[in-house]
C-alpha cells in the first residue's frame, strides 16, 4: 500500500517541527528505551500484534494528553 511508503514523521514535521528535531535532544534515548520496553511488555502481556500494540499505546497516550489539556483550560 502507498500509505505504508509515506514518511509520516517527515510529513507531520512540517506542521510540528519538534518531530524533525527531537532525536537530537540530549537524553531522549532514555525515553526511546522506556517506550520500547513498554511496547514489548504490552505486546507480550496481551498477545497483541504489532499494529494493535501501537494503536493501544497511542490511544492511551492521547487520552493522557486530553486529560492534561482539559485540566489546563
Look at residue 2 in the predicted model and tell me its pLDDT.
67
Task: Report yes or no: 10 and 20 within 8 Å, Cβ to Cβ.
Answer: yes
Number of domains the chain is built from: 1
Look at residue 73 in the predicted model and tell me its pLDDT.
85
Query: By residue range, what is the domain housing residue 13?
Result: 2-72
Residue with cell 494503536: 55
Q: What is the pLDDT of residues 54-72, one digit of tens each?
A: 999 999 999 999 999 998 9
Residue 41 has pLDDT above 70, yes or no: yes
- Which grid coordinates are listed for 60? 492511551
Task: Report yes or no: 19 and 12 within 8 Å, Cβ to Cβ.
Answer: yes
The string of DSSP letters for 1-59 reads -GGGGS-HHHHHHTT-THHHHGGGSTTHHHHHHHHHHHHHHHHHHHT--HHHHHHHHHH
Percent of the chain with pLDDT over 90: 82
Amino acid at each position: 500500500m502507498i500509505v505504508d511508503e509515506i514518511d509520516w514523521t517527515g510529513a507531520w514535521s512540517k506542521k510540528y517541527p519538534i518531530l524533525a528535531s527531537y532525536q537530537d535532544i540530549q537524553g531522549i534515548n532514555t525515553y526511546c528505551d522506556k517506550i520500547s520496553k513498554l511496547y514489548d511488555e504490552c505486546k507480550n502481556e496481551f498477545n497483541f500484534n504489532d499494529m494493535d500494540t501501537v494503536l493501544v499505546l497511542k490511544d492511551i497516550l492521547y487520552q493522557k494528553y486530553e486529560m492534561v489539556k482539559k485540566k489546563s483550560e
